[in-house]
């Protein structure tokens, strides 16, 4: 789905996601399922909603971009994958990431205001509230508000990063003062580690642009309001 976003945007044709993958987060966002009668009813009703896209260093995403251990898992999966796989294919990459986690030092700014500066951890930039395994680190993200939500999680070890994921899964993040979050149209993430991994929509993301500081990388995420049309089932 992620690789089709530019074509969908250019064609202007409403999108309906008939879910056949692992998580199908875009389908979950709009209540789509694999029911053909539900799809036919949506075509008959023809209710279309304009929603936002995110852009990360020139790459479009519908759901989220992130830099840190979850992106490290995606990179590990990609390196070992030779065909489409289910959730089982993620077990070893997750274990490998827990042993040697990617926790770069990050500086995060939202519309020019800093929310984290040179702290070790990971960041999620969300267009949608949904995330894999219903972890949902940005539960207030809205695909139609013209904004992106950013959540920075300070972590110096795999155990702390895993704790953040469990807190998100248990819906405890919004009450946690150490989780730094904001929303805006332009979110910039600067890493002091040039090889920090990035993922978008569960795919390998763009490399960080080189900055004026050697050895660092920069990701610039922007919101494109009402960029694509969605055919909604109800």
Structure tokens at 185: 């149209």
Can you give the pTM of this predicted structure? 0.94
Among 188, 187, 206, 164, which residue's Cα sits nearest to residue 75? 206
How big is the CA angle at 165 (ends 164 and 166), to the nearest 5 degrees?
90
Residue 131 reports pLDDT greater than 70? yes
Is residue 21 very low, low, confident or very high in pLDDT (cuts 50, 70, 90)? confident
Weakest mean pLDDT among 15-19, 26-30, 212-216: 212-216
User: What band does 11 get if pLDDT is binned at 50, 70 and 90?
Assistant: very high
**What six digits make up the tokens of 12?**
């202007």
Average pLDDT over residues 202-206: 95
Average pLDDT, the chain: 94
C-alpha distances (whole Å) from 66 to each of 10, 69, 124, 172, 221 are: 25, 9, 4, 20, 10
Contact between 147 and 161 (Cβ < 8 Å) = no
Least confident of 129-138, 162-171, 186-195, 206-215: 206-215
What's the rounded Cα separation, in Å, for the pair 160 and 176? Answer: 14
What percent of the chain clears pLDDT 90, i.e. is strictly above it? 84
Of 5 and 177, the one with more pLDDT: 5
Distance CA 72, CA 78 (A): 10
- CATH T-level assignment (fold) for domain 55-224: Tumour Suppressor Smad4 (2.60.200)
Q: Is the pLDDT of residue 198 over 90?
A: yes
197, pLDDT greater than 80: yes
CA dihedral 13, 198, 187, 59 (to 10 degrees): -30
Q: How many residues does the chain have?
A: 234
Range(s) within the chain of domains with CATH label 2.60.200.40: 55-224
Tell me whether residue 214 is exposed, middle or buried, using C-beta atoms within 10 angstroms of its C-beta: 0 to 12, 13 to 18, 19 or more.
exposed
CA 3 to chain centre: 14
Rounded average pLDDT over 121-133: 96
- pLDDT tens, 38-93? 999 999 999 999 999 999 999 999 999 999 999 999 999 988 776 667 888 889 99
Q: Is the pLDDT of residue 213 over 90?
A: no
**Across 203-217, average pLDDT:** 88
Range 216-227 average pLDDT: 96
């Amino acid at each position: 789905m992620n690789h089709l976003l530019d074509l969908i945007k250019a064609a202007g044709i409403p999108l309906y996601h008939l879910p056949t993958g692992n998580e199908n987060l875009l389908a979950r966002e709009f209540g789509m399922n694999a029911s053909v009668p539900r799809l036919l009813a949506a075509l008959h009703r023809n209710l279309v909603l304009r929603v936002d896209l995110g852009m990360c260093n020139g790459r479009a995403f519908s759901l989220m971009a992130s830099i840190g251990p979850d992106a490290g898992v995606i990179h590990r999966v990609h390196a070992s994958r030779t065909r489409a796989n289910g959730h089982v294919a993620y077990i070893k990459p997750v274990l490998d990431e827990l042993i040697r986690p990617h926790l770069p030092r990050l500086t995060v700014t939202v519309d020019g205001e800093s929310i984290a500066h040179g702290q070790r951890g990971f960041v999620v930039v969300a267009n949608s509230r949904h995330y894999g395994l219903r972890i949902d680190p940005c539960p207030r993200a809205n695909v139609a508000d013209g904004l992106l939500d950013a959540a920075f999680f300070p972590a110096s070890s795999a155990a702390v990063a895993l704790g953040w994921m469990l807190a998100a899964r248990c819906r405890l993040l919004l009450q946690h003062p150490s989780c730094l979050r904001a929303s805006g149209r332009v979110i910039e993430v600067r890493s002091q580690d040039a090889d920090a991994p990035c993922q978008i929509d569960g795919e390998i993301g763009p490399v960080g642009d080189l900055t004026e500081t050697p050895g660092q990388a920069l990701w610039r995420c922007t919101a494109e309001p009402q960029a694509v049309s969605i055919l909604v089932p109800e």
